[in-house]
Amino acid sequence: MSWSKLKQQLESFLCPALYGRVEYRATSYRYLPDKAGTCYIAVDKKNVLNMSDKTTLIRWYQTELEIKNDPDIRIPIDNEEIEAVRTETKGIVPEDRLKVIVRNRKISEHAKKLLSEQSALSKSNFTVVANKFLSTSIEESLESNDILLNILALVDRRVGKKRMLNMTEKVKIKHPIVQFFYELRLSTL
């Protein structure tokens, strides 16, 4: 499917309050094969999410340490996970330290997942994900771990106020750019 047709279909699914505010844009260089094309989502004429081809990977954070130290990322800890670490360490670690160990392990897993998702963002991937979004249900797109599917679903007109308000807890553990689009959509309700 051509870019103009894909863009037209995606914009037809935008919620009315975001129409004109959220734009899908793409550039490519036909005669310069060494120049990679880019694709980006703009909100109020500002590029919010840039996607380059595989030659230049997108990164919001430079290292896993920065992600670990980000105070906005909140990871819930279960008693079962604490018990697993307690049995793993044979019960010699103090209780408060067990929570720190579990939290650091979960944040590290989350950071690795975020970095791998970010490295998958490219112009060619955007067209694949956009076509997938157009052919799958809105529920599947919202529940997906794919950043782009989440964003496209959040700005979709088929997602109502009740569903948006029920997603508050799930969005807290999503990528910061997904949280940004969630807040943008909530501001239109």
DSSP code of 172?
T
Q: Distance (Å, rounded) from C-alpha 187 to C-alpha 120? A: 29
53, 124 Cβ separation under 8 angstroms: yes
176, 72 Cβ separation under 8 angstroms: yes
Predicted pLDDT of residue 57: 43
Sheet of strand 38-43: strand arrangement: 22-27, 38-43, 46-52
Per-residue model confidence as pLDDT tens for the chain (189 residues): 787 898 899 999 999 999 989 998 887 666 655 555 678 888 998 888 877 654 444 444 455 667 677 777 677 888 899 899 899 888 888 888 988 888 888 877 777 676 666 655 656 678 888 899 999 999 999 998 888 899 999 999 999 999 999 998 888 888 888 999 999 999 988
For 32-57, what is each residue's pLDDT tens digit? 555 556 788 889 988 888 776 544 44
Structure tokens at 33: 């094969």
Predicted pLDDT of residue 69: 75
As beta bridge partners, residue 42 has 23, 47
What's this model's pTM, rounded to 2 decimal places?
Answer: 0.66
| Nearest CA among 25, 22, 2 for reference residue 13 | 22
DSSP reduced 3-state for 52: strand
As beta bridge partners, residue 24 has 41
Predicted pLDDT of residue 136: 92
* Residue 160, number of CB atoms within 10 A of its CB: 11
Structure tokens at 21: 């505010």
Structure tokens at 102: 């579990």
